[in-house]
């Protein structure tokens, strides 16, 4: 039996708590990071707070027993001040009230020794299937990549939705294209999957597109077109 305490009350903390609550051989409790005096001892303490707050929370529990981990993609393992420390990073986008299938979520794990790594791996596999040994430098680069494929891509969806709404076209018409693109790069490389006017150097089409965009959208379009053409 692995005992877990989750510090935090955000989306990641809530989703992890719900998943661990259903897992066999796991006991879990979740408390707000402002109420640290109510923490009980556990095998693993997960600091699930904003990146900027991780170090302060760690310092406030630096004499706590057990393995202390955070779940940030961008914060170094040594930001935690405890002797036994690690990273338990589920690489997924977590949204309130949107369920998560942890069996499809990659868990990026890091510790200072093999015994603690085995503990974190067992914890991850109690709710999921995919674990990866990723150090802090690798994780920082991976987090940047994740921002491109998730946050930036979602902003492109937002721009596309704005264009559709402005022209009274339902955004759902684009759903099959979005799905096909996401599926395609799972079997071929992104550079081989690239299509469109930038790839084909269709200058007239690019010009026509720019005429239908506002100034901010034009700048984004030009920058991405240039990047595609130079790759």
Sequence-distant (6+) residues with CB within 8 A of 91 are 73, 105, 106, 107, 108, 142, 146
Write down the pTM of the prediction.
0.83
Does residue 70 contact residue 47 with C-beta atoms inside 8 Å?
Answer: yes
Taking residues 69-79, report their average pLDDT.
94
Check residue 68 and give its pLDDT.
96
Could you count the other beta carbons within 10 Å of the beta carbon of residue 215? 6
Check residue 97 and give its pLDDT.
78
Residue 106 dihedral angles phi and psi, to the nearest 5°: -75, 130
Bridge partners (DSSP) listed for residue 110: 87
Check residue 33 and give its pLDDT.
67
Check residue 176 and give its pLDDT.
97
Check residue 172 and give its pLDDT.
97
Examine the pLDDT at 37 and tell me if it is beyond 90. Answer: no
Query: How is residue 98 written in tokens?
Result: 């949107």
- Alpha helix stretches (DSSP H) within the chain: 11-21, 54-60, 114-125, 136-146, 153-166, 175-184, 190-193, 197-200, 203-211, 215-229
Axis-axis angle for helices 215-229, 203-211 (nearest 10):
160
Does residue 132 contact residue 109 with C-beta atoms inside 8 Å?
Answer: yes
Taking residues 102-115, report their average pLDDT.
95
Over pLDDT 70: what percentage of the chain? Answer: 98
pLDDT in tens, 180-205: 999 999 999 999 999 999 999 999 99
C-alpha closest to that of 138 among 104, 106, 93, 114: 106
C-alpha closest to that of 16 among 26, 200, 229: 26
Q: Tokens 């150090």 belong to which residue?
A: 135
Taking residues 156-166, report their average pLDDT.
96
Domains and CATH numbers, the chain: 2-134 (3.40.50.720), 140-229 (1.10.1040.20)
pLDDT in tens, 119-138: 999 999 999 999 999 999 99
Sequence-distant (6+) residues with CB within 8 A of 125 are 131
Taking residues 85-97, report their average pLDDT.
90
């Amino acid at each position: 039996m692995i005992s877990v305490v989750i510090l935090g009350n955000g989306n990641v903390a809530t989703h992890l708590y719900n998943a661990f609550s259903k897992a066999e051989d796991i006991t879990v409790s979740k408390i707000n990071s402002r109420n640290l005096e109510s923490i009980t001892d556990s095998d693993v303490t997960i600091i699930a707070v904003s990146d900027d707050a991780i170090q302060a929370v760690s310092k406030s529990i630096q004499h706590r027993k057990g393995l202390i981990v955070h779940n940030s993609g961008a914060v170094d393992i040594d930001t935690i001040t405890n002797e036994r420390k690690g990273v338990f990073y589920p690489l997924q986008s977590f949204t309130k009230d949107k369920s998560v299938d942890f069996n499809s979520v990659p868990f990026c794990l890091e510790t200072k020794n093999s015994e603690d790594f085995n503990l974190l791996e067992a914890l991850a596999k109690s709710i999921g299937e995919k674990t990866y040994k990723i150090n802090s430098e690798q994780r920082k680069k991976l987090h940047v990549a994740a921002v491109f494929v998730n946050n930036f891509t979602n902003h492109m969806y937002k721009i596309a939705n704005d264009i559709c709404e402005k022209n009274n076209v339902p955004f759902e018409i684009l759903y099959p294209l979005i799905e096909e693109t996401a599926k395609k790069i799972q079997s071929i490389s992104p550079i081989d999957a690239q299509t469109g006017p930038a790839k084909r150097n269709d200058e007239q089409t690019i010009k026509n597109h720019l005429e239908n965009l506002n100034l901010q959208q034009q700048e984004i379009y030009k920058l991405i077109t240039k990047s595609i053409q130079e790759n």
